[in-house]
């Protein structure tokens, strides 16, 4: 046991005659570590992208609600009346009359 720990600390397991299998394991574990790190970075990038898109959706929804509120105010009769008074137009005092056209086919 003491001999194995001493050989690991000195690195003799990497230069001995049967070191090829040790190098294969080390390279395999290194490759797995690189793949794991790349996967973690990719996942983090996606999380940040999702958070950014959620913020953008909130901003766009807020702008939409604000625009709809402004539109509803502009469509009110009192707003329209005050805007067209400057141009000399006024609300008609007489109610509208329905025009009925009788066709010759009947």
Q: What confidence score (pLDDT) does residue 15 get?
A: 75
- Cβ neighbour number for residue 33 with a 10 Å cutoff: 10
91: in domain = no
Query: How many domains would you assign to the chain?
Result: 1
Q: Contact, 22 vs 13, CB < 8 A?
A: yes
99: in domain = no
16: in domain = yes
As a whole number, mean pLDDT of residues 32-47 equals 97
38: in domain = yes
Q: Contact, 7 vs 13, CB < 8 A?
A: yes
Token pair, residue 99, equals: 């025009």
Q: Which domain holds residue 71?
A: 2-85
98: in domain = no
Per-residue pLDDT reduced to its tens digit, 51-63: 999 999 999 999 9
Q: What is the pTM of this model?
A: 0.57
Q: Which residue is listed with tokens 């056209």?
A: 101
- Give the three-class secondary structure for 44: helix
Instruction: Using pLDDT thresholds of 50, 70 and 90, give the confidence band for residue 12.
Output: confident
94: in domain = no
106: in domain = no
50: in domain = yes
């Amino acid at each position: 046991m003491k001999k194995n720990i001493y050989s690991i600390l000195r690195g003799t397991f990497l230069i001995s005659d049967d070191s090829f299998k040790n190098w294969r394991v080390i390279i395999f574990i290194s490759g797995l570590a690189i793949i794991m790190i790349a996967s973690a970075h990719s996942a983090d990038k996606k999380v940040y992208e999702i958070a950014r898109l959620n913020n953008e959706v909130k901003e766009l929804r807020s702008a939409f609600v604000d625009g709809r509120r402004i539109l509803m105010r502009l469509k009110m009769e009192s707003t329209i009346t005050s805007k067209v008074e400057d141009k000399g137009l006024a609300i008609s005092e007489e109610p509208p009359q329905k025009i009925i056209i009788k066709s010759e086919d009947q």
